[in-house]
């Protein structure tokens, strides 16, 4: 390690003294102006991680659904997964080291992790369409090169595409070709083959309206659409030519405001969906004949997918287990439907994709989705091999089911939740089953719910247990919440510190919207009073 060079280059990526940032749920996020030193240092860290794992590591520059002025960065581990937790801690320490401590912290990480400095390092880099992203990704490259790492800069990519590239590169091309074209071809081929099986069930030409949040999803879908146009035509809105990234549009806006994005013309009963700013989340929606808006969120996506997979798995009859993983935000109706009607086991983990992903890997087939639309399905290697073998050997119904599963495996991005891949899976399932968005939506009715935010002096005063469903500290808060919940029917509420914003999040659901709002408000007040609220007290009707 040329520590002199590290320090010398660091002066042109100087850390504003005193600035402290955390590697949060999905990496660092802040106003883009505060991130130059973070990018340089994550370049350094990616090299150490690459040497340690003897694998390619990814660095993605994006702040997902955050406002355009923000940016962020996260590292991608060898199998396309989120960075290991112990390295998140290294990332935070390295990011916050003052200039004079940088060398010491870097050496500390390298020695503590027994990194072989002679080992080669390779880092792949991607970025979203934010105006700040290009310059920030140059700073990552500076960090990589100063430690002697090799790199490939993919330029503009969706976050899941970079996960895919990392996974391909570390599995010797078996998963797919590590190029954008390789990604388009792999997914489109699987999609077109799957939907061919639908043509026997009276196929009409399928079309879908897509709100791209004025982000990278628009660019990539434009490039990709001719690959799958035989099966689906997409009409793009908020494609970045006019509007501002994530502003009044995108999956996060639609889910949290439960209304359509600006800039999209919706006729009644047309199927529409929204991506977020880096295209790793998707939600669906439509307007009914009375003009009423209906949201089809990640929970309903998980239900559609797991029900389809469960039927195919029972058709091939190999006693393969399927599990669904959700978080506390999953609508109570979805959990009840999955467990009681579909008889599928459901598990709850903490918020954040890494937790869901990890749990889903315990099953032969693990479907995970957050209510906000981030998710995918994972197939164990043994299941994949079995299915491919059956698909090759059999011509009967079992063989047909195996062929469909084979295509589904190829169509899902197994490295990360992916709006483009999920969209194609959903469109294929709807086509094969001959379902409209309304029929899909009618599987169950969501319980009315409300999410609020409360500002507190220090959000770390709230700690939780039981997959964030119960509060441990401050003492007494859980008892108050439990008493409030008892006042309503079909009710549930929980609070947790956000991993991406300096706030406490409050979630409540109940038998009516009025009751859900009132419960959310009461719980917000309790948080404000018992957890050191600052600023204005929550008032009824306040929609944080
Ligand atoms: C990040 C997470 C997302 C989670 C959200 C929660 C990833 C890739 N993204 O966007 O899964 O739902 O944070 O945000 O893990 P919060 O902690 O502010 O509620
Ligand atoms: Mg995102």
**C-alpha 26 – ligand 2 centre gap (Å):** 9
- In this structure, what token pair is assigned to residue 232? 């689906």
Per-residue model confidence (pLDDT) at position 464: 98
Residues 31, 376, 76: CA angle, nearest 5 degrees: 45
**C-alpha 280 – ligand 2 centre gap (Å):** 5
| For residue 203, pLDDT beyond 60 | no
pLDDT digits (tens, 9 = 90+) for 283-318: 999 999 999 999 999 999 999 999 999 999 999 988
Tell me the average pLDDT across 340-361.
96
| For residue 204, pLDDT beyond 70 | no
Closest residue CA from atom 11 of ligand 1: 352
**C-alpha 45 – ligand 1 centre gap (Å):** 22
Taking only Cα atoms into account, the Rg of the chain, rounded to an integer number of angstroms, comes to 23
Per-residue model confidence (pLDDT) at position 194: 94
Are 62 and 72 within 8 A, CB to CB? yes
86 is catalytic: no
Instruction: Sort residue 336 into left (φ over 0), alpha (ψ -120 to 50) or beta.
Output: alpha
> Exposed, middle or buried by CB within 10 Å (0-12, 13-18, 19+), for 398?
middle
- Whether ligand 1 lies within 6 angstroms of the CB of 349 is answered as no
With bands split at pLDDT 50, 70 and 90, how would you rate the model's confidence at 107? very high
pLDDT digits (tens, 9 = 90+) for 207-240: 999 999 999 999 999 999 999 998 899 999 999 9
To test ligand 1's pocket by mutation, which of 25, 422, 506 has the most ligand atoms within 8 angstroms of CB?
A: 25
Per-residue model confidence (pLDDT) at position 197: 78
Contacts of 89 (CB under 8 A, 6+ apart): 23
Distance from C-alpha of 346 to C-alpha of 340, rounded to nearest angstrom: 10
Task: Count the alpha carbons within 13 Å of 217 in the hemisphere toward its beta carbon.
Answer: 35
Tell me the average pLDDT across 465-483.
98
500 is in an annotated binding site: yes
| For residue 149, pLDDT beyond 60 | yes
Atom of ligand 1 nearest to the CA of 417: 8
To test ligand 1's pocket by mutation, which of 499, 501, 503 has the most ligand atoms within 8 angstroms of CB?
A: 499
Tell me the average pLDDT across 475-499.
97
**C-alpha 275 – ligand 1 centre gap (Å):** 15
Question: What contacts 24+ positions apart, CB below 8 Å, involve 82-91?
Answer: 82/26, 82/353, 82/354, 82/357, 83/23, 83/27, 83/49, 87/45, 87/49, 88/23, 89/23, 90/45, 91/23, 91/27, 91/28, 91/42, 91/45
459 is in an annotated binding site: no
Per-residue model confidence (pLDDT) at position 200: 52
What is the DSSP code (8-state) at residue 538?
P
153 is in an annotated binding site: no
Per-residue model confidence (pLDDT) at position 500: 85
Cα-to-chain-centroid distance, residue 16: 30
- Whether ligand 1 lies within 6 angstroms of the CB of 38 is answered as no
Closest residue CA from atom 19 of ligand 1: 498
pLDDT digits (tens, 9 = 90+) for 245-283: 999 999 999 999 999 999 999 999 999 999 999 999 999
Across the chain, mean pLDDT equals 95
Proportion of the chain above pLDDT 70, given as a percent: 98
With bands split at pLDDT 50, 70 and 90, how would you rate the model's confidence at 501? confident
Catalytically annotated residue among 64, 110, 334, 524? 64
319 is in an annotated binding site: no
Per-residue model confidence (pLDDT) at position 166: 98
pLDDT digits (tens, 9 = 90+) for 360-406: 999 999 999 999 999 999 999 999 999 999 999 999 999 999 999 99
Task: Give the number of whichever ligand sits closest to the CA of residue 330.
Answer: 1
Per-residue model confidence (pLDDT) at position 539: 83
170 is in an annotated binding site: no
| For residue 508, pLDDT beyond 60 | yes
Per-residue model confidence (pLDDT) at position 389: 95
To test ligand 1's pocket by mutation, which of 28, 298, 352 has the most ligand atoms within 8 angstroms of CB?
A: 352
Distance from C-alpha of 263 to C-alpha of 75, rounded to nearest angstrom: 33
- Whether ligand 1 lies within 6 angstroms of the CB of 81 is answered as no
**C-alpha 111 – ligand 2 centre gap (Å):** 34
Atom of ligand 1 nearest to the CA of 503: 18
* 60-64, 125-129, 200-204: least confident range: 200-204
- Whether ligand 1 lies within 6 angstroms of the CB of 499 is answered as yes
**C-alpha 399 – ligand 2 centre gap (Å):** 37
Task: Give the number of whichever ligand sits closest to the CA of residue 282.
Answer: 2
Task: Give the number of whichever ligand sits closest to the CA of residue 277.
Answer: 2
Closest residue CA from atom 2 of ligand 1: 352
- Of 267, 195, 250, 271, the C-alpha closest to 227 is 195
Are 132 and 72 within 8 A, CB to CB? no
Per-residue model confidence (pLDDT) at position 541: 63
With bands split at pLDDT 50, 70 and 90, how would you rate the model's confidence at 19? very high
């Amino acid at each position: 390690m040329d520590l002199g060079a590290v320090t010398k280059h660091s002066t042109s990526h100087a850390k504003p003294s005193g600035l402290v940032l955390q590697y949060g749920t999905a990496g660092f996020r802040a106003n883009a102006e505060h991130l130059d030193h973070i990018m340089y240092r994550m370049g350094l860290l990616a090299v150490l991680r690459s040497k340690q794992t003897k694998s390619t590591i990814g660095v993605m520059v994006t702040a997902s659904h955050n406002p355009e002025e923000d940016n962020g960065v996260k590292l991608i581990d060898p199998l396309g997964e989120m960075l290991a937790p112990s390295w998140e801690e290294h990332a935070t320490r390295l990011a916050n080291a003052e200039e004079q401590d940088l060398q010491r912290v870097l050496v500390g990480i390298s020695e503590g992790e027994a990194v072989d400095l002679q080992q080669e390092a390779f880092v792949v880099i991607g970025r979203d369409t934010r105006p700040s992203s290009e310059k920030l990704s140059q700073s990552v490259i500076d960090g990589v090169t100063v430690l002697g790492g090799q790199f490939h800069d993919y330029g503009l990519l969706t976050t899941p595409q970079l996960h895919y590239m990392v996974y391909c590169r570390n599995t010797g091309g078996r998963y797919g070709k590590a190029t954008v074209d390789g990604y388009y071809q792999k997914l489109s081929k699987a999609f077109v083959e799957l939907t061919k099986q639908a043509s026997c069930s009276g196929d009409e030409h399928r079309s879908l309206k897509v709100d791209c949040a004025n982000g990278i999803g628009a660019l990539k879908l434009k490039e990709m659409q001719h690959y799958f146009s035989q099966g689906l035509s997409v009409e793009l809105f908020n494609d970045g030519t006019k509007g501002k990234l994530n502003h009044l549009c995108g999956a996060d806006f639609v889910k949290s405001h439960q209304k359509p994005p600006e800039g999209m013309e919706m006729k009644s009963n047309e199927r529409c969906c929204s991506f977020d700013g880096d295209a790793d989340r998707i939600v669906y929606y439509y307007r009914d004949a009375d003009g009423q808006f209906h949201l089809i969120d990640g929970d309903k996506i998980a239900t559609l997918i797991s029900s389809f997979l469960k039927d195919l798995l029972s058709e091939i009859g190999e006693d393969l287990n399927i599990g669904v993983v959700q978080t506390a935000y999953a609508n109570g109706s979805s959990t009840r439907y999955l467990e009681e009607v579909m008889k599928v086991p459901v598990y709850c983990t903490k918020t954040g994709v890494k937790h869901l992903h990890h749990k889903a890997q315990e099953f032969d087939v693990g479907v995970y989705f957050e209510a906000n639309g981030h998710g995918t399905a994972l197939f164990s290697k043994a299941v994949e091999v079995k299915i491919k073998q059956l698909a090759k050997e059999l011509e009967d119904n079992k063989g047909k089911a195996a062929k469909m599963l084979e295509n589904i495996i190829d169509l899902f991005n197994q490295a990360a939740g992916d709006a483009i891949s999920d969209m194609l899976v959903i469109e294929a399932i709807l086509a094969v089953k001959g379902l409209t968005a309304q029929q899909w939506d009618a599987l169950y009715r969501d319980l009315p719910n409300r999410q609020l935010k409360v500002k507190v002096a220090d959000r770390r005063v709230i700690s939780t247990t039981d997959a964030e469903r119960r509060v441990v500290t401050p003492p007494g808060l859980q008892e108050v919440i439990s008493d409030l919940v008892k006042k309503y029917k079909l009710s549930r509420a929980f609070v947790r510190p956000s991993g991406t914003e300096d706030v406490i999040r409050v979630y409540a659901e109940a038998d009516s919207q009025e009751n859900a709002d009132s419960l959310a408000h009461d719980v917000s007040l309790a948080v404000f009073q018992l957890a050191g609220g600052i600023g204005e007290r929550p008032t009824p009707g306040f929609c944080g």
